[in-house]
Structure 1
Amino acid sequence: MPREAPYLAMAEALRARIVAGDWRLGERLPSRARLAAEYGVGRNVVQRAVDLLIADGLLEGRAGSGTYVRVPRERLRMVRSRRRDHSLAALTERGRAGAWDAHSEVRVPAPEDIAGRLALSAGDLCVRTCYEFLADGVPVQLSESWESMALTGGTPVVLPEQGPLAGRGVVERMRSIGVTVETVVELPRPARATQAQANLLGIAAGDLVLAIERTIYDTSGRPVETADIIIPDVRREVVYEFEVDR
């Protein structure tokens, strides 16, 4: 029978020591050089073994610091809901009360992909708003939202988190300028966290995330807002809830 790949054997040896408590939760592992010398293998074998255990959620890498035994985090449920007793675009999060930070930029040229989603030409000016959502002070979701300035420019609601309807959501803001929202389309995909996303979410680069491409349309089928939403898999499980027409 073929011999087991050295990095797989190394990963199992490290896994057994972690389970046995040789390294406590949150404790830093020895350096790769030290582990390589201890087990008589090359550093590339240690690296592949550690990468495997990071992917399995047993370890976590911290840039410039080392590799640590991952502390299990509570995985909370997020319900994205479309019910008749809620506004169409509520898609709200249930569970612990949260907070958010937001930063808007105006007159940002739309990249080609965003322009396509908003039925604009590449380079048309937009408002871009970046959100960081928190639960118990822990970041649990990122969102980058885009709205066309041709639609909201010069109105009191040009900035989503400022003005008379700050924080009231797309539906109410659009209604105030005579635009009626009718449809929300979400396209969820599994993805891996970029380094920038990992830094904001407190996870490791390459960790599994759910990437949701959301676009909101008015009654004429015109897209009025589009957003890219990033949810770390280790923190949240996402459930879609719909009411059945009777």
Structure 2
Amino acid sequence: MPREVRYLAVAEALRARLAAGEWRVGERLPSRARLAEEYGVGRNVLQRTMDVLIVDGLLEGRAGSGTYVRVPRERLRMVRSRCRERSLAAGTERGRAGAWDADSEVRVPAPEHIAERLAVRPGDLCVRTHYEFLADGRPVQLSESWEPMALTAGTPVVLPERGPLAGRGVVERMRSIGVDVGTVVEVPRPARATRPQANLLGIDAGDLVLLIERTIHDTGGRPVETADIVIPDARREVVYEFAVER
């Protein structure tokens, strides 16, 4: 059986054993080495198996302790859309972030990877803003945003969450200083939560997260903001919605 299929087969076998109650909620599973030997697969295959079940919300990994049966919970949907108004049925997007905390720093030198995304030189001064988005009082998303100070220095909108357009978003703030946003590019990829991210999101370090690298460009193609968005994968199902041009 191909390796990419074997991990799914093992996942289904373990899912059936969990459904049958072989291990109770909160109980630790046998070691991964023992399970790999039991199913006749390598540790890499077993690791992919565990990742599937962790993402599905059936298991949780605890650093230095093992893998445990997690209390089953619903994986809520998060819709990312270019449309401001969406005709979604009530309850389709329950748990949507409705509040946020933000902390901005000015005159932060752009590290090399951020400078490349913003098309500036490494060390050019930026405004860096850390966001923690909340839903029902719980953190559901993190974001680290960078804007080049060459664009906003000396204007009322240099700080995203202060001033006359605080909290209104990049598009409105940039428009107020004569910069029209044209495109938004998002690159989603799987990642593992760092210890600081895990502490903020209430998950375990090393848990799967969705990392979205977002860059906003003006109508001339110049980057005006870039951000790394972190979403806990076990809690959120991210869906992209696009309008059809007519």
Return the TM-score normalized by structure 2: 0.75
Distance 1:69 1:24 in 2: 7
Counterpart of 2:5? none
Q: Deviations over 1:139-164 (max 9, x none)?
A: 21111100011111121111111111
Partner of 1:226, secondary structure, is strand
Shift of 1:120: 0.6
Shift of 1:186: 0.9
Shift of 1:221: 1.4
Counterpart of 1:139? 139
Counterpart of 2:172? 172
Shift of 1:233: 1.3
Partner of 1:121, secondary structure, is coil
Counterpart of 2:189? 189
Shift of 1:178: 1.4
Q: Runs of 5+ in structure 2 lacking a partner?
A: 1-10, 38-42, 86-91
- Classify 1:30/1:228 alpha carbon distance in 2 versus 1 (closer, same or farther; 3 Å): closer
Identical counterparts, % of pairs: 75
Distance 2:93 2:168 in 1: 17
| 8 A Cα contact 2:133 2:141, kept in partner | yes
Counterpart of 1:6? none
Counterpart of 2:226? 226
| 8 A Cα contact 1:126 1:149, kept in partner | yes
| 8 A Cα contact 2:145 2:226, kept in partner | yes
Q: Runs of 5+ in structure 1 lacking a partner?
A: 1-10, 42-46, 87-92
Alignment RMSD:
3.3
Residue 154 (structure 2) pairs with residue 154 (structure 1): yes
- Matched ranges for 1:73-112 at <5 A: 73-83=73-83, 94-97=93-96, 98-112=98-112
Shift of 1:31: 11
Counterpart of 2:113? 113
Counterpart of 2:244? 244
Kindly name which structure, 1 or 2, has the bigger radius of gyration based on alpha carbons.
Answer: 1
Shift of 1:17: 7.6
| 8 A Cα contact 1:209 1:232, kept in partner | yes
Aligned length: 220
Return the TM-score normalized by structure 1: 0.75
| 8 A Cα contact 1:73 1:234, kept in partner | no
Structure 1 runs of 4+ with >6 Å offset: 11-17, 50-53
Distance 2:205 2:19 in 1: 24
Shift of 1:230: 1.1
| 8 A Cα contact 2:171 2:180, kept in partner | yes
